[in-house]
Amino acid sequence: MVRRLLERLLLRPGDVPPSQADFEVIGVINPAAMTIGNEVKLLVRVVERPREKRPGFIPLPRWVPGGKLAVDWLAEQELDIIDCRAVRRKSDGVVRLTFTSHLRLVHCGAGRSVLSIGRETFVPESELEEYGVEDPRLTQIGDRFYFTYVAVSRHGVATALASTADFQRFVRHGIIHCPENKDVVLFPERIGGEFHCLHRPVGSMSFTRPEIWLARSPDLVHWGRHERLMGGQTDWETGKIGSGTPPLKTADGWLVLYHGNHRPSLRPGDVGSYAAGAILLDLDHPNQVLRRTKEPILQPSADYEIQGFVPHVVFPTGIVEQGDMLLVYYGAADTCIGLIGLDRQEVLSALK
């Protein structure tokens, strides 16, 4: 493990207002992060659920046209509980989330504390986003800020792309990876004349455990020439694996922090634990993994990483450079946002 030079709980659910009065915020997690001008800004995922309880029923939220939330009440006996996040309708096997998500902008000044929390910044707009928009990853390309995000709906879990110049007006570029695919990070510049991204496709036929793939594009919208990049090797990353922070250019290669999931036990509701490792990709040929950490560099250890909505989770999604320090922003226990400061050289030395 790499030393935590800084360790801080940055944002809790109680710090953020819900999007409507009849909802409660149960998580503020998985932030995108970027230094813009003199300020670190986070685009955070706000997770909320209906406040009302009805004995014998489970409320399942969904966004409807006009940017409002509606609730479907389903009888408990019609549903199987998958885990704390999802239920499955017994009659047809269809899955629903017990919460929904939207994105908010958070201003962090020098990056180590929260100065102010903005309004709902980016809320679901179409049927392809009706169960929520999740886990943004921000990359500056030219003078625009692009972010990938997970669009969840009755049609599956897909990844979409949006961009903005000012975090007030957004352009939606549509779905860039169809279901099921998430954890998509964009490289900040063309390499060999093409844009590149890392993504994580998952199918229902489990020939393999989930893997990270690489794709190329002429315009950030049309993606092809897919290649498998890597899978999990050691126990801590053999359940699931996915890119975490957008690639950071270093003299040694592209540095990407990724998450791995320890394969859950067969106990119903067990989600397993999430830790983070790092990879270094060749600067000119990012389909080549030069080095990777064998052991996690971040593991759940602070109280707020161990206890929460989903216990034992560190899930890095944002990274900012400050001199020799890397500020890593992450979801802790699917409940809060934590900040960890790492020494860049120590991280690079942990890569074998």
User: Whose Cβ is closer to ligand MAN: residue 39's or residue 80's?
Assistant: 80
Name the minimum Å distance from CB 157 to ligand MAN: 5
Q: How many whole angstroms separate alpha carbon 140 and alpha carbon 34?
A: 8
Q: Is residue 323 within 8 Å of 343, Cβ to Cβ?
A: no
Decide if residue 97 touches ligand MAN (CB under 6 A). Answer: yes
Q: Are 164 and 173 a contacting pair, CB within 8 Å? A: no
To the nearest whole angstrom, how small is the minimum distance from the Cβ of residue 183 to ligand MAN?
9
Which CB sits closer to ligand MAN, 85 or 107? 85
Using CB under 6 A as the binding rule, whether residue 157 contacts ligand MAN is answered as yes
Rounded to an integer, what distance in angstroms lies between the CA atom of residue 202 and that of residue 157? 10
Q: Which is nearer to ligand MAN, 97 or 255 (CB)?
A: 97
Do the Cβ atoms of 196 and 216 come closer than 8 Å?
yes
Q: Is 134 in the site for ligand MAN (CB under 6 A)?
A: yes
Among the residue ranges 87-95, 150-158, 206-214, 339-347, the one whose residues contact ligand MAN (CB under 6 A): 150-158
Interaction of residue 209 with ligand MAN, rule CB under 6 A = no
Among the listed residues 150, 158, 313, 339, the single contact to ligand MAN using CB under 6 A: 150
The nearer residue to ligand MAN, 97 or 281, going by C-beta atoms, is 97
Nearer CB in complex with ligand MAN: 134/237: 134
Give the SS3 label for residue 302: coil
Q: Concatenated DSSP letters for 20-70? A: STTEEEEEEEEEEEEEETTEEEEEEEEEEEES---TTEEEEEEEETTTEEE
On whether the CB atoms of residues 286 and 292 are closer than 8 A, the answer is no
Phi-psi region of 91 (alpha: psi -120 to 50; beta: other; left: phi over 0): alpha
CA 316-319-320 angle, to 5 degrees, is 160
Does 85 engage in binding with ligand MAN (CB under 6 A)?
A: yes
Q: Tell me the DSSP string of 116-139.
A: EEEEEEE---SGGGTTEEEEEEEE
Q: Which stretch binds ligand MAN (CB under 6 A): 136-144, 149-157, 208-216, 232-240?
A: 149-157
Number of residue whose CB is nearest ligand MAN: 157
Binding flags for ligand MAN, 4-23, as an x/- string (CB under 6 A): --------------------
Q: Does 26 engage in binding with ligand MAN (CB under 6 A)?
A: no
The neighbour count for residue 4, using CB atoms within 10 Å, is 18
∠ CA 74-12-125, rounded to 5°:
50
- Does 152 help bind ligand MAN (rule: CB under 6 A)? yes
Cβ at position 27, least distance to ligand MAN in Å: 8
- Residues binding ligand MAN (CB under 6 A): 85-86, 97, 134, 150, 152, 157
